Amino acid sequence: MPQPSLTATVPRQLVHRAAIAETFLTDWEKTGPDSFRLCAQWPRAHQLHVSPDRSAYEPLLVAETVRQCGALLAHAEYRVPLESCFVLRELRLSTRPGRLAVGAAPAEPVLDVRVFDVRHRAGRPTALRYDTEVRLGGEPVADAHIAVSWTSAAVYRRLRGGRTPATVCAVPLPPALPAGAVGRLLPADVVLAPPERPGRWQLRVDTAHPVFFDHPLDHVPGMLLLEAARQAARLRTAGPDVSASFAATFHQYAELDRSTWIEVVEGDGPGLLVRGSQGDSTIFECAVDAAEG
């Protein structure tokens, strides 16, 4: 069984990262037919994923770590080729912020993953879902569910109609809101512009951002959209950060060369419902809620 005391990360290509510093998984093992245990390490300081006062890990660090689990297992256990192009379909995450404090050493979470609903085409896997329980020091700190699919590079090129990182440019960056208003320390981490009208903001897509755009992309990444939902929820409540739980559905690609609008709309349940759109099309929806504690 892997122990959370290893000193190296997994190969960065397996989790779709270019920077070793953004690779959080350290090891994994198979515990059942479609069950796995993975180990990770979280740094005590991070531009985006640790609170500005370095006292707590952000819930979206948990989301990114769980996302990396799916990529790694798809390649290492389900034999998905490395050149395949992945699409995040759904992400549900519930965290316990009171248990996400930064300690005297980097945190070493253990993630138990159960894979199911593995879909095939022509004998090859094309999609899967997985549930994850995240523990620190043996205590549960988060639960997550992710649905992801992928295509071959050739099929992806046809689907994207010639859009590549080299041929598509992001819209010009609009001004940023004050960093403190969205719970960030650096202006570069602000992803929303001043509101067009109350409760509606333009998304700021900075393709030079070292975390959101760890490598060149031809679309807006899902993690940037989740951060936009987090910042919108904080602005709407005009108080402490309430985003400890996320339930997001990604409907279609958010294109770099089209303006993306983020707004808080009325939801059916507790918390806030954040929607992202381009033109008349809804790109994603995300329910953001406070934590259990």
For the whole model, what pTM was predicted?
A: 0.94
Is residue 4 domain-resident?
no
In a shared domain, residues 68 and 103:
yes
Which residue segment(s) compose the domain that 170 sits in?
162-289
Is residue 241 domain-resident?
yes
Is residue 283 domain-resident?
yes
Classify residue 67 by burial, with Cβ atoms within 10 Å: 0-12, 13-18, 19+: buried
Six-digit token string for 290: 């406070």
In a shared domain, residues 129 and 167:
no
In a shared domain, residues 70 and 180:
no
The pLDDT, as a whole number, for residue 269 is 66
Domains in the chain: how many in total?
2
The span from the CA of 258 to the CA of 96, in Å, is 36
Read off the CATH number of the domain in which 65 is found: 3.10.129.10
Angle formed at CA 88 by CA 83 and CA 93, multiple of 5 degrees: 135
In a shared domain, residues 37 and 131:
yes
The span from the CA of 146 to the CA of 119, in Å, is 14
The span from the CA of 253 to the CA of 193, in Å, is 21
Is residue 95 domain-resident?
yes
Q: Which of 158, 179, 200 is the last residue of a domain?
A: 158
The answer to whether residues 205 and 41 touch, using CB atoms and an 8 Å cutoff, is no
Beta pairing, strands 245-250 & 200-202? unpaired
Amino acid code (one letter) for 46: H
Q: Which of 97, 124, 158 is the last residue of a domain?
A: 158
Q: Which of 126, 142, 158 is the last residue of a domain?
A: 158
The pLDDT, as a whole number, for residue 38 is 98
In a shared domain, residues 152 and 175:
no
Is residue 3 domain-resident?
no
Is residue 2 domain-resident?
no
| Phi/psi at 230 (5° precision) | -60, -45
In a shared domain, residues 147 and 279:
no
Which stretches in the chain have pLDDT values below 50?
A: 1, 4, 293
The span from the CA of 77 to the CA of 71, in Å, is 10
In a shared domain, residues 133 and 179:
no
The pLDDT, as a whole number, for residue 238 is 73
The pLDDT, as a whole number, for residue 110 is 97
Is residue 5 domain-resident?
no
In a shared domain, residues 121 and 193:
no
In a shared domain, residues 130 and 170:
no
In a shared domain, residues 134 and 256:
no
The pLDDT, as a whole number, for residue 8 is 85
Is residue 277 domain-resident?
yes
In a shared domain, residues 176 and 105:
no
In a shared domain, residues 19 and 151:
yes
